[in-house]
Amino acid sequence: MSRAKILVTSTFATSFILEDVRLLRKRYDVAHLVTSGLMSPPLIALAVRHADVAYSWFASTYAAAAVAAAKIFGKKSMIAIGGADVAGLKEIGYGIWISPWRSRLSGYALRNADQVLAVDPALREAAIGLARYAGDNIDVLPTGYDASFWSPAGEKEPFVLTVAAVDSPARIKMKGLGYLFDAARRLASTPFRLVGIHPRIIDGLRRDAPLNMEIHPPLQQEKLRELYRRAAVYCQPSVFEGLPNAVCEAMLCGCFPVVTDAGGMRNAVADAGEVVPIGDTDRLVESLRRGLGASPGVRARGRESIASRFTVERREEGLNRAIEKLIQ
């Protein structure tokens, strides 16, 4: 019996997208099309024609092209929503839904896909509200994390780590870096490290940063794991998030998490860290102080929480279940 053909489309190839491709290839014939720009819709349509299921990462304009092509060619379509695709923060210029034409295409994609997988319940609710429909095609399936790779090692050091993929002013605001800088100034004797800043804006951020803040460009996973293992506290002060990989990876490496109450971060941290209101610098500072003094037992509880709830096996089973439901 021949294996079903799955087309995975995305505009970039991050670790979590590549992980889905890897998991799906265990059971199906998978092609991964990474494309963006004006020529993408016809390329996507051509590829969908030769697949059984078109699986798009993020409910973008390109996902709309994949869903439309699937309808035309009698194929099935599936979308994973992860964050920016259900964001519309006009005040900071962030998210697909601040654009009238992009929001229409994203809404079409969500309403017409055969299956939508949200990485957190908060994103499911956001999609329902923005696309203005019942959301009967949306299920929740978190991303999964390899607890054998993201693991503690060595002694913790009293510094605060933040990992944020930032390449624009909108991303600076979305990741709450202004709040982070304010907190660092008030904890002047505590070292802070910020990782993930694009080279084109890193010099400007360094000029604005407090003296106790080190700022670095993106790091490879092994180097990032080394920082997670050393940092006592991981801080994510964002104003919007999905289910952030960095929070889960840091907790698996024994960091005490301090996050804002945005998206799926409360769900990720559960009772193993601190969740503060968005933009509340006073609470952020208090929580960072408590995190720096957290016991090894508390840190271990955070690791166990992530390791038990967000497994790679759960992600794999959920993906396979969703695909099988579409092709049966």
CATH number of the structural domain spanning residue 228: 3.40.50.2000
Mean pLDDT along residues 273-279: 97
Looking at residue 239, its pLDDT comes to 96
Shared-domain flag, residues 118 and 13: yes
Shared-domain flag, residues 221 and 284: yes
Q: Sign (positive/negative) of CA torsion 65, 68, 74, 76?
A: positive
Mean pLDDT along residues 12-24: 95
The structure's pTM equals: 0.94
Tally of CB atoms within 10 A around 120: 25
Asked whether residue 151 is domain-assigned, the answer is: no
Is pLDDT above 80 for 1?
A: no
Asked whether residue 238 is domain-assigned, the answer is: yes
Mean pLDDT along residues 155-162: 97
Residue ranges making up the domain that contains 101: 5-144+311-327
Token pair 């802070």 is found at 192
Asked whether residue 256 is domain-assigned, the answer is: yes
Query: Which residue(s) pair with 166 in the sheet?
Result: 197
Query: Model confidence over 169-179: pLDDT tens digits?
Result: 999 999 999 99
Q: Helices marked H in 25-99 — which ranges?
A: 40-49, 61-73
Query: Which residue(s) pair with 160 in the sheet?
Result: 192, 233
Asked whether residue 150 is domain-assigned, the answer is: no
Q: Is residue 83 exposed (0-12), middle (13-18) or buried (19+ Cβ within 10 Å)? A: buried
Shared-domain flag, residues 97 and 178: no
Asked whether residue 118 is domain-assigned, the answer is: yes
Query: Model confidence over 206-227: pLDDT tens digits?
Result: 999 999 999 999 999 999 999 9
Residue 294 is given by DSSP the state -
Confidence of residue 2 (pLDDT cuts 50, 70, 90): confident
Shared-domain flag, residues 303 and 203: yes
